[in-house]
Structure 1
Amino acid sequence: MKLASFKHFTRACLLAGGLIGAIVPSIVHAETDRMVIFDDDGFALAQWMVLKAPHVKVLGIATVSGDFWQKEATAYALRGLEIANRKDVPVVQGATYPLVNSEKLTDKWEALYGKLVWKGAWMRSWVEKTTQPLPPYHAADVVPDLPWGNPTLKPSAENAAMFMIRMVHQYPGQVSIIECGPMTNLALAQKLDPEFASLAKELVYMGGSLNPRQKLTSPASAQFAREFGNSPRREFNIRFDPEAASITMRAPWKRIVMVPVDPSTETEMSAEFVKDIAAADTPIARIVKRSANNFPLWDEIAAAVWLDPSLIRTSADLYVDVNTMFGAQYGDILSWSEGYQPDVGEQKEKVVLTIDVPRMKALIKDLISKP
């Protein structure tokens, strides 16, 4: 699950911690630029990594509600592109509300089954005492002033689902989609056009969890690990819109790569790494300089393994779906090895279990330090 400061202020600057002593990975590319669409509920360092990567054409940034309401996520994306001097990349606005889930349903669920650690745009207060700042609770149409300054760019008039459908038809078999928020836009696109998923090259998504374990010893890492101690299959991106996630995962993608919470427990944004990366004195690095929070990477792992799949150390081929029954396990990940799946539409996914953390840190530093 992603926590508040990740996308409220430091989310857009989230890095792995530790010293850089590894060879920078070689970004995989063909003779032509790799095409990608980002779909997210904010704007993170992950987008900046891909925007600055060589031989990559970012077709657009789609926005969806999750950690932020869609309008606020759109403002972050527009401002992030301004900071990166990439005003050529369109921002397309997506879904404001989940397909079925709602704030009232979530309140009812909590009354029956216990408190959720993080509820994104619906979050009013922390359950337990924490030093983490809480994003101000507000209505879906309110966009507060951003800590990076407010954007002057405007979003595209096209909506996210139709934009993604148009792109996969324009470039059949060539468009990768990196999903780092709830999957509402993808589900809408698939329902509007049953060819959507089959025309894309692949889906790489950050979401879900299998059995995350604490790997680091810092207090922040311990706090994060407690979140999954009693609910190892629950993660915010999926829990916010479980029905959309199930529709998306059952769609006929050529390839699906799942980046669950599990590999992120080996990563941590540290003051040392922030200092290291901010030394480049680029516009992005100046924002990163204020971003140390010691929380794990989430979206950045998805971006990194898309840029360089050799960063994946171990993975498993699993059939994956989501529990959409409104009960205690609503929104939890379901997974099966070959032959054990119920075979009612589940797709096989490459599930990332561990990554080469030093090489990923080196890749992040190399990309973000570029002018």
Structure 2
Amino acid sequence: MTIRRIAALLLMLLVAIPAEAKRKVIIDDEGFGLMHMMLLADPDVEVLGITTVSGNVWVNRATAQALRGLEIVGRRDVPVVPGATYPLVNTEAATERWEALYGKLTWKGAWMKAWAEPTVQSTPPYHRPDDPVDLPWGNPTTKPAGEIAANFLIRMVRRYPGEVTIIEGGPMTNLALAQRLDPAFAGLARELVYMGGSLNPQRVRDDRSARDFAREFVNTPRREFNIRFDPEAASIVSRSPWRAITVVPVDPSTATQLTRALRDRLAAAATPEVARFVARMEPGFPMWDEIAAAVWLDPGVVTARERLYVDYDTMFGPNYGDLLSWHAAYRPGLGEQPADVVRAIDSARMEALIEREVARLGR
């Protein structure tokens, strides 16, 4: 056989081998930040869409932020699908009544008007759910998709059964609605990775910003905002038949921080437009959602994990929204699912991953 024929045969064999499929993901979150940028930039990831939900801000503001963020990073091809405006049961008035009975919450997201005590981080502006949106970094010119998030989530897992990972960075209202609309929803997804819950953080950075956030967990070690905003949704999702669940509680986040130095490194690695966007990010906050993206992109970031059955307290009392967890022999058996719970991460490895991914955007 001649060399030319051998080469032609090898070429045919290479063409016949299917290319490695990209990992499909839907991002469900309340805005746009480094987590989105990491997943959008990775060449092995296909972001099917961004679904938005109320949490840190109302869903109309989160939707505008996601649209504008995609414009900045040059990814207008990714659909943004608006989700739930309100939690399933919880309300701002009910939260104020709860605080009168059981004490002040540290962070209330869209319901936040003031910190309970002096804090390094700024107080976000207060908005009502139907207030017009005017973003400080420019308003989007693109429009959101014409369907609701729950329907989009169902449609995607049915189009790609067993292939779609859902990465949740906010309250789980959209996921709970999708599960109630379609009981097959969770089982059709590949996996769920979410940031939420707390088992009591043990490692805290030695600086004022980290201590300000970590002080909440001294007396309320099982409470965390994403869950507390919509505990009923979190409980529904935790008892849904997912193939796999990865829980990223706040535990590893208190050892992380978007410092000024890290922000400046990210901006220096980025294209000019992305750099301007990154430079506007307020430093001093833990890197909650970034951990969820990092452990999915690079499981080697995780240095400690635990297998637990997880649910959330939905009784309107002092522990409303707290994480409930059991080892297998002790679980109540009411539908709670096993979860891979991340307890600690390699912060330096995660920061290096974020820097690599941000540097890819717009190139």
Shorter-chain TM-score: which interval?
A: over 0.9
Which of 337, 356, 361 matches 1:366?
356
Report the Cα distance in structure 2 between the residues aligned to 1:347 and 1:339, rounded to whole angstroms: 13
* Alignment partner of 1:193 is 2:186: no
| Matching of residues 202-281 of structure 1 within 5 Å | 202-281=191-270
Given that residues 259 and 351 in structure 1 are in contact (C-alpha distance below 8 angstroms), is that contact kept between their aligned partners in structure 2? yes
Once structures 1 and 2 are overlaid, which stretch shifts more, 355-364 or 181-190? 355-364
Aligned-partner residue type, residue 130 of structure 2: D
* Alignment partner of 1:294 is 2:302: no
Where does residue 157 of structure 2 map in the other structure?
A: 168
Report the Cα distance in structure 1 between the residues aligned to 2:349 and 2:203, rounded to whole angstroms: 21
Where does residue 70 of structure 2 map in the other structure?
A: 81
Once structures 1 and 2 are overlaid, which stretch shifts more, 157-166 or 354-363? 354-363
Which of 148, 164, 172 matches 1:159?
148
Given that residues 169 and 194 in structure 2 are in contact (C-alpha distance below 8 angstroms), is that contact kept between their aligned partners in structure 1? yes
Given that residues 210 and 255 in structure 2 are in contact (C-alpha distance below 8 angstroms), is that contact kept between their aligned partners in structure 1? no
- The structural deviation recorded for 1:214 is 4.3
Aligned-partner residue type, residue 53 of structure 1: D
Aligned-partner residue type, residue 267 of structure 2: A
Q: Percent identity?
A: 61
Report the Cα distance in structure 1 between the residues aligned to 2:58 and 2:204, rounded to whole angstroms: 32
- The structural deviation recorded for 1:286 is 2.0
Structure with max Cα Rg: 2
1:153-206: CA deviation from partner (whole Å, max 9, x where unpaired): 100011000000000000000000000000000000000000000000000000
Where does residue 334 of structure 2 map in the other structure?
A: 344
Once structures 1 and 2 are overlaid, which stretch shifts more, 261-270 or 134-143? 134-143
Where does residue 3 of structure 2 map in the other structure?
A: none
Report the Cα distance in structure 2 between the residues aligned to 1:149 and 1:98, rounded to whole angstroms: 28
Aligned-partner residue type, residue 331 of structure 1: G
How many residues end up aligned between the 2 structures? 342
- The structural deviation recorded for 1:107 is 0.8
Given that residues 270 and 358 in structure 2 are in contact (C-alpha distance below 8 angstroms), is that contact kept between their aligned partners in structure 1? no
Report the Cα distance in structure 1 between the residues aligned to 2:333 and 2:270, rounded to whole angstroms: 52
| Matching of residues 11-30 of structure 1 within 5 Å | none
In structure 2, relative to structure 1, the CA distance for the partners of 1:204 and 1:170 (3 Å cut) is same
Which structure's residues are more often helix, by fraction? 2
Once structures 1 and 2 are overlaid, which stretch shifts more, 281-290 or 69-78? 281-290
Given that residues 263 and 354 in structure 1 are in contact (C-alpha distance below 8 angstroms), is that contact kept between their aligned partners in structure 2? yes
Report the Cα distance in structure 2 between the residues aligned to 1:77 and 1:291, rounded to whole angstroms: 15
Given that residues 285 and 368 in structure 1 are in contact (C-alpha distance below 8 angstroms), is that contact kept between their aligned partners in structure 2? no
Which of 105, 114, 126 matches 1:116?
105
- The structural deviation recorded for 1:131 is 3.6
| Matching of residues 63-82 of structure 1 within 5 Å | 63-82=52-71
Once structures 1 and 2 are overlaid, which stretch shifts more, 276-285 or 178-187? 276-285
Aligned-partner residue type, residue 289 of structure 1: A
Three-state SS of the structure 1 residue aligned to 2:167 is: strand
Aligned-partner residue type, residue 352 of structure 2: A
1:120-173: CA deviation from partner (whole Å, max 9, x where unpaired): 111112211224222221210113321211111100011000000000000000
Gap regions ≥5 residues in structure 1: 1-29
The structure whose RCO (Cα within 8 Å, separation 6+) is larger is 1
Report the Cα distance in structure 2 between the residues aligned to 1:144 and 1:353, rounded to whole angstroms: 37
Three-state SS of the structure 1 residue aligned to 2:292 is: helix
Where does residue 62 of structure 1 map in the other structure?
A: 51
- The structural deviation recorded for 1:292 is 4.9
Report the Cα distance in structure 1 between the residues aligned to 2:40 and 2:24, rounded to whole angstroms: 11
Three-state SS of the structure 1 residue aligned to 2:334 is: coil
Once structures 1 and 2 are overlaid, which stretch shifts more, 114-123 or 315-324? 114-123
Report the Cα distance in structure 2 between the residues aligned to 1:131 and 1:320, rounded to whole angstroms: 33
* Alignment partner of 1:329 is 2:319: yes
Where does residue 308 of structure 2 map in the other structure?
A: 318
TM superposition outliers: structure 1 runs of 4+ over 4 Å:
none
Three-state SS of the structure 2 residue aligned to 1:369 is: helix
Three-state SS of the structure 2 residue aligned to 1:92 is: strand
Report the Cα distance in structure 1 between the residues aligned to 2:202 and 2:280, rounded to whole angstroms: 28
- The structural deviation recorded for 1:238 is 0.1
* Alignment partner of 1:303 is 2:285: no
Report the Cα distance in structure 2 between the residues aligned to 1:298 and 1:123, rounded to whole angstroms: 18
- The structural deviation recorded for 1:349 is 0.2
Which of 107, 110, 114 matches 1:125?
114
Where does residue 7 of structure 1 map in the other structure?
A: none
Which of 343, 346, 356 matches 1:353?
343
Given that residues 214 and 221 in structure 1 are in contact (C-alpha distance below 8 angstroms), is that contact kept between their aligned partners in structure 2? no
Given that residues 233 and 332 in structure 1 are in contact (C-alpha distance below 8 angstroms), is that contact kept between their aligned partners in structure 2? yes
Where does residue 8 of structure 2 map in the other structure?
A: none
Given that residues 60 and 133 in structure 2 are in contact (C-alpha distance below 8 angstroms), is that contact kept between their aligned partners in structure 1? no
